[in-house]
């Protein structure tokens, strides 16, 4: 019969080992992406939790570099799609083409058959093409000419959009926004860190060249896929579950919101909190984990009333106010 102390020691050892590996990934990405530690941690949380993230920031804030650097540190396959108005669903999932040598059709796989996919400027492509990507995100299977084909078990989409440019764009519908576990805001750098970036790259090498040459693979896809089993060992108290439900209910009752957060948002918040705790080396979720993730997980799913928009109130402001009024479990 297995001794419970041995089981606990084994679990603690696995948690500690994973934390060390996760910190190594963050350090490797930090070699070429300065000042975005929170964004890196949130992206790693999405990868662990099996979710997808919307990276929002103005051009030049290293969104593409973040995704490419993360894939290098994880030794994961990486592909990028530049979304344009003429992009077709077959450009994403693939199609069958005729091979004159074999006199038969062969399948040309699309870029979704990868581990990490950067969907650049996702709001620049029509809804039909967005829907093709949505299916793969949701089901982790691509439909190619009627054939259903599984994608990578860790398939993760990091989609980017410019928050200030609306001409020639197709805003993501609420149904698709709800499939993104998080919206991660990638801000401008503080002055000192921006100077560091300018100094670092003044020698002439591009950031992407440095990402390919300097980042070591300190994790791998198999380890990441198997480590997700650790999520099941992260405990969530009933009081924390009730806390999450109270936050969801508060968004639905808010006079500032036309649309509150649904149950899927609560599920995403819980699994993200489990991954966040795991990255901190813990096997339990705290109310602080929930607080830390409420804005990135919930804000993009909410719709503000017109009056709130006129007053300059953002979704994050509403959530911060709701959190301050929601009792925190002891």
Residue-wise pLDDT for 71-96, tens only, equals 999 999 999 999 999 999 999 999 88
pLDDT in tens, 150-197: 999 899 999 998 776 655 577 787 778 888 999 999 988 888 888 888
The Cα angle at residue 116 between residues 114 and 121, in degrees rounded to 5: 110
Distance CA 282, CA 301 (A): 28
How many beta carbons lie within 10 A of that of residue 126, not counting itself? 15
The stretch 209-220 carries a mean pLDDT of 76
* Banded model confidence at residue 207, pLDDT cuts 50, 70, 90: low
**CB-based contact 91:110 (threshold 8 Å):** yes
Task: Name the residue with tokens 């929601």.
Answer: 326
Rounded to whole angstroms, the Cα distance separating 215 from 284 reads: 31
How would you class 2 by CB atoms within 10 Å of its CB: exposed for 0-12, middle for 13-18, buried for 19 or more?
Answer: exposed
Q: Is the pTM of this model over 0.85?
A: yes
pLDDT for 1 beyond 60: no
Residues 98-143 have pLDDT tens digits of: 778 877 878 889 999 999 999 998 888 888 898 889 889 999 999 8
Q: What tens digit of pLDDT does each residue of 232-268 get?
A: 889 999 999 999 999 999 999 999 999 999 999 999 9
Q: Is the pLDDT of residue 10 over 60?
A: no
Question: What's the pLDDT band for 57 if we cut at 50, 70, 90?
Answer: confident
Please state, as a whole number, how many other Cβ atoms lie within 10 Å of the Cβ of residue 266: 18
**pLDDT for 88:** 92
The confidence score (pLDDT) of residue 36 equals 92
pLDDT, averaged across the chain:
87
Alpha-carbon distance of 195 to 1, in angstroms, equals 60
CATH fold group of domain 4-232: Rossmann fold (3.40.50)
Name which of 2, 3, 8, 4 is nearest 283 in CA terms: 8
User: How many other C-beta atoms can be found within 10 angstroms of the C-beta atom of residue 124?
Assistant: 19
CATH of 234-330 given 1.20.1090.10, 1.10.8.80, 3.40.309.10, 3.30.300.30: 1.10.8.80
Give residue limits of the domains in the chain: 4-232, 234-330
| Three-state secondary structure of the chain | CCCHHHHHHHHHHHHHHHHHHHHHHHHHHHCCCCCCHHHHHHHHHHHHHCCCEEEECCCCCCHHHHHHHHHHHCCCCEEEEECCCCCCHHHHHEEEEEECCCCEEEEEECCCCCCEEEEECHHHCCHHHHHHHHHHHHHCEEEECCEEEECCCCCEEEEEECCCCCCCCCCCCHHHHCCCCEEEECCCCCHHHHHHHHHHCCCCCCHHHHHHHHCCCCCCHHHHHHHHHHHHHCECCHHHHHHHHHHHHHHHHCCCEEECCCHHHHHHHHHHHHHHHHHCCCCECCHHHHHHHHHHHHHHHCEECHHHHHCCCCHHHHHHHHHHHCCCCC
């Amino acid at each position: 019969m297995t001794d419970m102390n041995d089981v606990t020691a084994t679990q603690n050892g696995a948690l500690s080992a994973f934390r060390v590996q996760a910190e190594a990934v963050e350090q490797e990405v930090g070699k070429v992406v300065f000042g975005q530690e929170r964004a890196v941690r949130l992206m790693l949380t999405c990868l662990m939790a099996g979710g997808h993230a919307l990276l929002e920031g103005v051009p030049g804030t290293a969104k593409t570099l973040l995704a490419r650097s993360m894939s290098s540190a994880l030794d994961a396959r990486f592909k990028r799609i530049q979304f344009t108005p003429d992009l077709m669903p077959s450009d994403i999932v693939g199609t069958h083409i005729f091979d004159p040598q074999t006199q038969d059709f062969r399948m040309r796989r699309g870029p979704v058959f990868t581990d990490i996919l950067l969907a650049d400027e996702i709001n620049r492509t029509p809804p039909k093409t967005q829907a093709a990507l949505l299916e793969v995100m949701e089901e982790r299977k691509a439909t190619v000419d009627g054939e259903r084909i599984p994608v990578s078990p860790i398939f993760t989409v990091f989609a980017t959009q410019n928050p200030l440019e609306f001409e020639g764009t197709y805003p993501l519908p609420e149904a698709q926004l709800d499939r993104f576990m998080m919206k991660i805001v990638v801000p401008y750098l503080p002055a000192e860190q921006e100077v560091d970036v300018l100094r670092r790259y003044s020698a002439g090498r591009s950031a992407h060249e440095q990402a390919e040459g300097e980042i070591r693979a300190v994790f791998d896809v198999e380890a990441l896929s198997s480590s997700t089993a650790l999520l099941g060992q992260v405990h969530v108290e009933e009081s924390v579950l009730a806390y999450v439900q109270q936050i969801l209910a508060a968004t639905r009752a808010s006079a500032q919101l036309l649309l509150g957060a649904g149950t899927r948002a609560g599920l995403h918040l819980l699994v993200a909190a489990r991954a966040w705790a795991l990255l901190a080396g813990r096997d339990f979720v705290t109310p602080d984990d929930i607080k830390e993730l409420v804005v990135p997980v919930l804000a993009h799913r909410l719709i503000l009333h017109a009056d709130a928009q006129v007053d300059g109130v953002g979704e994050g402001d509403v959530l911060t106010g709701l959190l301050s009024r929601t009792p925190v479990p002891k």
